[in-house]
Copies of this chain bind each other. A is one copy, B any other.
């Protein structure tokens, strides 16, 4: 069955193309202006192809954001945990503050405030990935002896992932190095092994 992988590969390529088209179009017209019709037209697929996989346009857009986030924003190093977290959080903060991710994501979050299922989708299709990769990264540091062996890291991953949203969503201040260092400082003061 040497041909059996071809349709699957084509399916996966088509998915990536749809995610790219969705993000490009969202950047052009904004979240509010985005339609399944326009995405389908530009990607050269039928609307049913989209609806079969993504029940709502928000689901599709969140998968697109997740695709960018996980390919561009994953932890890039396995060195000193403090420096790696710092680099990662500064890079994420930059992405939040710039196109394409920032403005589109912000608009989705605004829409989600009157739509609980969309808040659930933001988490399940996007932030869950961020929480998991963060927990994986700090768990590795714990195994390497950089973090205290008895620290319950799963209990605090939400604080690491979530804290900087406060500044982004609820103030007009930038997420600067001071904000990032405050968060990481508290985490390391709590769980860093001395000398790390």
Is A76 on the interface with B (CB-CB < 8 A)? no
Task: Say whether B163 contacts A127, CB under 8 Å.
Answer: no
Given contact pairs A114-B110, A185-B155, A190-B189, A162 touches B172 in the complex (Cβ within 8 A): no
Within the complex, what minimum Cβ distance (angstroms) separates A152 from chain B?
8
The residue on B at minimum CB distance from A159 is: B163
Residues in B whose Cβ lies below 8 Å from that of A172: 116-117, 119-120, 123
Within the complex, what minimum Cβ distance (angstroms) separates A65 from chain B?
12
Choose among B109, B162, B190 the residue that contacts A163 (Cβ–Cβ < 8 A): B162
Task: Say whether B123 contacts A169, CB under 8 Å.
Answer: no
Is A181 on the interface with B (CB-CB < 8 A)? yes
Task: Say whether A170 contacts B122, CB under 8 Å.
Answer: yes
Closest 5 CB pairs of A and B: A162-B166, A120-B172, A110-B113, A190-B190, A189-B190
